[in-house]
Structure formats: structure tokens, C-alpha cells
Amino acid sequence: MASQILLIAMVLLICVFSDRLSGKIGVPALLLFIGIGILFGSDGLFKIPFEDYSFASSVCEIALIIIMFTGGFAVKWEAAKPVIVKSCLLSTLGVVITACATMLFCRFALSMAWTESFLLGAVISSTDAASVFSVLRSRRLNLKNGLAPLLEVESGSNDPFSYMLTVIALALMNGQGAGFVWYLVFAQIVFGALGGVLVGMIAVYVAKRVKTSSDGFEVILFLASALLAYALPSLFSGNGYLSVYIAGVIMGNADIPKKREAVTFLNGVTGLAQIAVFFLLGLLSSPSTFPASMIPAILIYLFLTIVSRPLAVLILGGKSPIKDRIFISFAGLRGASSIVFAIMATVDEAHTVSNVFNIVFCVCLLSMIGQGSLLPFAAKKLGLIDNSSDVLKTFNDYKEESSITMMRMFVPAGHPWEDKQLSEVVLPTGSLAVMIKRGDENIIPKGSTVIRAEDSVVLSVPPYDSDRSFKLREIHISKKHHWAGMTIRELKLPERLLVVMIKRGNESVIPSGATEILVGDTVVVTETEDTHIHTTAIAHT
């Protein structure tokens, strides 16, 4: 037993170092994990024999649940909302178009049977969230035109439809009739969506109202919710992966306690799940058997990359610029989910002539080596890099690096600080004067620096550590919003609301009662749960 534990520890450590190495050599870390699995496998250096597809399928199924839940949990709704329609079209109809086009290619170009062609098209039709997330995060790929959230939502939400098509293909190959197939379509979508909404809402309700006696039990609630979201609809032939993803989105965007701890926990568990999946897939593969499947794999990969994926993007891309469409097409990385679905097809009773696992495995390797490595280069060549943004802000687990807040204090004529040395004034507790702006001059202050009228003293102050008794909320003012054209004092806000800032273009306006709210403004308000802030305070601010 000790030798097996030592082997697991070695594999995990090698994968950790490989993850650090991937950013330097420009290769996706997940590809290195597969390589490590191959290295330990029957054709590698360590010659570990492993051909248990059923065990691998069970492990990968659980790991994929965690990966998909975390993918949904990480989606920041505020960043995803502008591209949600296009993302959902690509992750649903886009998957169907890709699968059908690939099916036709396999049938007529490779002379495969109709059902086997449909199975291959279904298995390979989805982009892999783990691969896309890995490239975006590790390479800090900051993209223009909302492409990062679009790819994140699409890649995170299209696995359920690929899974549904795979289930339908296997049902047809096992001789099931049209009635059963139509029931599968209904059950997969309806029960999967209902299960995700139900579990997600109940989990949020429980997390907000049930306090555990020990720290860390909240994250166990989230993990249990993910497993429940998968199992519940699966009992009725529903799409468990769709349910898991929806539950993750609902919980990730809810204001629930211990959310930061949950994100840290889920990221750790997801990292372990990804290592387990990709290492196991590498261990399960036998590169010595690849040559027989390499030619159809290369042809399918080329067709998928050049024809079927771009076709889906062309049809569903709306009015997106041509450069955006090219990049979205190129960013359709294949990975773990396709290989997991191929394992599912391998252990199923359905008979296939081709080695589906080897073909799909080789296609995914080609995708991760080619597209995964060249994605940053493609973004740069297409002029889609946005150096003014941070791709990590599109994820719910994004944290600001700074632990301080900057505050400006204007010193008008007659202010108690006027004509006094900085060492003579009493600054707010825990603050530090870091700069004095005097006209066009920026002064680095010392204790002997004299503060003059019309100076602006810039202070660094500790951030507020919220106890969740209040929260900030942004309200965008459209033409139809009833606040448009009104002053702050005319709003008649509830007692628990206070307008603290108005974002107007690149300007941040600190409001007074006479401040008028304009169309296009973003009004930031505080909302308290147990402290009443009277609107009279607003009018006199």
C-alpha cells in the first residue's frame, strides 16, 4: 500500500511542476498531464498495465461533475450577460451543427456507418472547458469585444449537449425506436434544466439560512449540491451535466456566506480532478496502437477545425466582426470531455467497427497541441489582445491584488488642515498620506510638508472587511429607467439604500442631493440589512 501511495504522491508532484512549466513553454498544462499518464502507462517508461475502461469511466464521470460545477460557479454573470445569447447558441445549436457536419464527413469521406459517424460527431462536438480555461488563465489572455466571457460560457455549457447527442447515438446503435429517442431529447433538456434550477436555488437558500457549527462545512454543502444536481435528473434520464452547470451558475452568482472559501476549495478540488482525468486518460491510452487510427483522426481534426466549427460560428455568430469569428472558431479546443464520452461509448454495449477511443484521443491531442499552443499567437495576429483589461475579472474567483484603498481629501480655504504640517494633523485611523496634488504638481509628502488651501491629500486606507451586513449594488441607467433625469433628492429611496457613487464614462462622481442622474450612468448604492440609512442623509451629503 505504501508503494501505491508513494506513486500517487510522485504523480501529483510531477503534475504540479508541469503546471508551472506549461506557462513558460507555451503548452497547455492539461496536455502535459496526459503526457505524464502516457509516461506511466503500458507503452511508457513505468509500464503500468491499465485497461479498465469501466473504472476510468466512473472516475472521469465524477471528476467531470466537479469540473463542470466549478465552471458554472466561476461564470461571472455581470461579465457574461452581454454575450449570453451568442454563447448559448454556440453551446446548443452550435454543438448540433458541428456534430451533424462531422457525421456527414465521417459517412461520405471515411465510409463509416451512419450510426457510428453520428457517434463520432456527437462525442467530438463540444469544446473543452478545462482546456479553454487553462489557456485563458495561465497565459492571462486578455481579449477584446467580450470574447473571453463568450468562450468561457460556451465551453463550460456545451458539454451537456454533446453528452445528450452521445446518449442518443448510443440509443440508436442499441436499436431503440424513435419514440424512446424523442423522450430522451425531452428528458435530457427539461429534467436537466429543472434539476439544476431546483438544486441551485435550494442550495442557496440553505447556505444563507443554515449556519454550521464548524468552519469548512459550507464547502461540503457545495460539493454535495453538485453531486445531487447530477444524480437527481439522471434518475429520470435527465442531463446531469446540464443540471450541474446550471446549479453552479446559480450558486456562484448568489450572495452566500463563505463564498471565497468555497471558491478556493473548488479550485483545489477541480485541479485535482483535472489531474486525475488527464493522467488517467494518458494511462489508459496505448500510443503503440495509435498509427491505425491516426489517418482518420487527422482528417477529422482538420475537417473539424477548418469546416464544421467555423460553419457553426458563421451561422450563429450574428453580426460579430470577421476577426472575432475566426478566433472563436480557432478557440474550439477539444479535450477531456470528448475523451470521457468516448470512454462511455467504449464501455457501452453498442458495437463499433472503428476504435472510437483512439480516434477521439488523437483528435484531442492534435487540438491541444495545435490550437492550445497557438491560441495566444492567433489572438495577437488578429489584433484581439486588450492590454487594458484582465481576463481573470471575468471569473467569480477573481480577487484584486491590492489590499488597500486610495481616498482623496480636498482641503478648501479655511479647512483646519490649511497651512499645517502633515505631522500636525490627525489622519483617519490606519491611513497614510501617500501624495499631495497641488495644481499640476504631485508632491510625495513628509512630516514637515505644509498643506495648502486647494490641495488634494491622497490617503491609503485599509479596505472595509464586509461582515455582509451591507453590500454594494450597481444599477445601470437606461433610457427607460425611471431614475433617468432625476436628482438624488428626488429619488425617494428606501431607508436601507444610499447612493454612494455614480460612474459616468471614465469619471467617478461623488453625489450630492442636487446631482442629476443621466442616461448611461451606473449608480452604485449601498444596501443594508440591519442598519437604516435615512434618505434625509442623502439630500444633505
- Please, what are the averages of pLDDT over each run of 10 residues along the chain (541 residues)? 87 86 73 92 88 92 93 84 90 96 97 96 90 73 85 90 96 92 95 96 90 73 94 95 95 84 84 91 92 95 96 89 94 92 93 92 93 89 78 51 68 88 83 87 89 89 58 81 90 80 79 88 74 36 35
Alpha-carbon torsion (133, 135, 139, 142), positive or negative: negative
Question: Using CA atoms, how far apart are residues 168 and 213, in angstroms rounded to an integer?
Answer: 46
Who contacts 295 (Cβ-Cβ below 8 Å, separation ≥6)?
none
Question: Using CA atoms, how far apart are residues 193 and 228, in angstroms rounded to an integer?
Answer: 13
Domain ranges of the chain: 2-392, 405-461, 470-539
Query: Is 255 within 8 Å of 466 (Cβ atoms)?
Result: no
**Backbone torsions φ then ψ of 507, nearest 5 degrees:** -105, 140
H/E element holding 8? helix 2-25
Angle at 527 between CA 525 and CA 532, to 5 degrees: 120
C-alpha cell of residue 357: 477511443
Who contacts 9 (Cβ-Cβ below 8 Å, separation ≥6)?
none
pLDDT at residue number 536: 34
**Residue that the C-alpha cell 470574447 belongs to:** 147
Q: What is the pTM of this model?
A: 0.74
Question: Using CA atoms, how far apart are residues 425 and 432, in angstroms rounded to an integer?
Answer: 12
pLDDT at residue number 528: 59
C-alpha cell of residue 314: 458563421
Query: Is 467 within 8 Å of 530 (Cβ atoms)?
Result: no
pLDDT at residue number 390: 54
Closest CA to 196 of 154, 231, 158: 231
C-alpha cell of residue 51: 485497461
Q: 3-class secondary structure for 121-151?
A: HHHCCCCCHHHHHHHHHHCCCCECCCHHHHH
Closest CA to 266 of 204, 208, 322, 223: 223
Question: Using CA atoms, how far apart are residues 350 and 333, in angstroms rounded to an integer?
Answer: 27
**3-state DSSP helix/strand/coil percent for the chain, to nearest 5?**
60, 10, 30
Question: Using CA atoms, how far apart are residues 145 and 82, in angstroms rounded to an integer?
Answer: 10
Fold matches, 2-392 and 470-539 = no
Question: Using CA atoms, how far apart are residues 41 and 286, in angstroms rounded to an integer?
Answer: 8
C-alpha cell of residue 514: 442636487
Query: What is the greatest pairwise CA distance in the chain?
Result: 91
> DSSP readout, 32-71?
HHHHHHHHHSTTSSS------HHHHHHHHHHHHHHHHHHH
Question: Using CA atoms, how far apart are residues 510 and 251, in angstroms rounded to an integer?
Answer: 33
Using DSSP, state whether 43 is helix, strand or coil. Answer: coil
Rg (CA), the chain: 27
**Backbone torsions φ then ψ of 51, nearest 5 degrees:** -135, 20
- What fold, for 405-461? Alpha-Beta Plaits (3.30.70)
**Backbone torsions φ then ψ of 383, nearest 5 degrees:** 70, 35
Query: What CATH number belongs to 470-539?
Result: 3.30.70.1450
**Backbone torsions φ then ψ of 536, nearest 5 degrees:** -65, -30
Q: Which CATH architecture has domain 2-392?
A: Up-down Bundle (1.20)
Torsion of CA 314, 319, 320, 326, to 10 degrees: 20
pLDDT at residue number 514: 85
pLDDT at residue number 540: 33
**Helical H runs in 210-290?**
217-234, 240-252, 259-284
Residues present in the chain in total: 541
Angle at 323 between CA 317 and CA 325, to 5 degrees: 25
Angle between helical axes of 217-234 and 240-252 (0-180°, round to 10): 150
Pairing of strands 470-476, 455-461: unpaired
10 Å Cβ neighbour count for 319?
6
